[in-house]
Amino acid sequence: MLIQNKQIAIIGGGPGGLTLAKLLQLKGSNVKVYERDVDKDARVQGSPLDMHEESGSAALRKANLFDEFTKNALIGADKKIVVNKNAEICFSDHEAQSAEAQNNTPIRLEISRGVLRKILLESLQPETVVWNSHYVSMEKQNEGWLMHFKNGSSAYADIVVAADGANSRIRPYITNTRAFYSGITMVEINVYDAEKATPHIYALLNGGKVMAFGNSKCILGGQKGNGDLGFYLSFKADENRVATNGLDYSDKAQLLTWFKKEYAEWSSTWYELFENSAAPFIPRPIYCMPLDQTWETLPNLTMLGDAAHVMPPFAGEGANTAMLDALELSEYLTSGRYNTLQEAISAYEINMRKRAAMAAQASLANGERMHSAGALEKMLAVFGRK
């Protein structure tokens, strides 16, 4: 096996990095995950993840974790409604999902990010994850890399895998290609104890998700599995608009005034999000890697997930794609089909870039549809209700 007696370092303990660590350990590999979080409880977890059968679920099956996933899945969390700017329901699949549950037919399963992370962490060998390891830099040493961390520690690895997200510090060692701005900006809003904080919107969601469209803008939201809600205001804007518009994103009253102007003609129902949510709000310009990106493969360094192919979130492929990357990379490295590590990594990267480009293209197209004139009618057509 090409990675026999090799020390593998994975930078980043998200779904992709942890999945890769588990799959490599099942093959008997020596692997460490270096994570910037101080410990397993440090991260604030986002909205639930919908595990797709051909990607996230496939990786969990290969990692022998699918049964644990189904035990902890949020049944019905994927049910959705589509509403207009007045919060009037135009489409709902709640009844259909209830019928699926009663008939024991397959249901689209979601899981809280924190729970998925816990499952992956607990499946790893003791001390696999090195916490409080904020990667700073690395340099070539022997046939591998000597990595340095913010806490002053250093570590050597024969092979390094970047799983450190959209702002990867390792990616520049592989390629200078940068992401481009998609033209869309999102503002993240988190609501704690939502049943009390935002009772009208909580009731509207009824345990599922909402997609609201009007005036070429969106509001997208859903439950997190613990009674909290996560929402995104989504709209087209200049790339630097959120940094130069003078808004104080910790001032809820100021943001509500901004919303009333930018989302003119939208119902006052949505005001709850500003009056009773947690501050600060988080502006997020949305980026995408060029669909034709390429680079020269290195023999001891590669990447997966957002580090390799950050894309807009309008097709729900982020974590799923990262976990499929992990599955495929583990198989390329351990299959015995290649004579050298460089050949194995090259084959993985060629296929990974092709897959990612297709997913990004679909996500860009969906983003344009969701922020276009007549978006509500177009999205209703997507869901089969004209």
* Residue 241 identity: R
- Domain limits, CATH 3.50.50.60, in the chain: 7-74+116-178+292-370
pLDDT tens, residue by residue, 183-212: 999 999 999 999 999 999 999 999 889 999
- Rg of the chain on CA atoms, in Å: 22
Angle between helices 15-26 and 113-123 (to 10 degrees): 20
N-terminal to C-terminal alpha carbon distance within the chain? 55
Alpha-carbon 120 to chain mean position: 16
Instruction: Kindly list the distances between the CA atom of residue 24 and the CA atoms of 7, 56, 171, in Å, as whole numbers in the listed order.
Output: 11, 16, 22
State residue 98's pLDDT score: 61
Judge: domain 180-288, CATH 3.30.420.40.
no
DSSP annotation of 329: H
**Does residue 113 have a known ligand-binding role?**
yes
State residue 96's pLDDT score: 74
- Domain limits, CATH 3.30.9.60, in the chain: 180-288
DSSP string, 140-156: EETTEEEEEETTS-EEE
pTM score over 0.85: yes
CA distance 208 to 75: 10
- Answer whether residue 305 shows pLDDT above 80: yes
pLDDT tens, residue by residue, 121-175: 999 999 999 999 999 999 999 999 999 999 999 999 999 999 999 999 999 999 9
**Does residue 41 have a known ligand-binding role?**
no
* Confidence label for 386 from pLDDT (cuts 50, 70 and 90): very low
Judge: domain 7-74+116-178+292-370, CATH 3.40.50.150.
no
**Does residue 385 have a known ligand-binding role?**
no
pLDDT tens, residue by residue, 37-74: 999 888 656 678 889 999 999 999 999 999 999 999 88
Average pLDDT over residues 266-292: 95
**Does residue 228 have a known ligand-binding role?**
no
Q: Which of 100-109, 226-235, 249-258 has the highest mean pLDDT?
A: 249-258
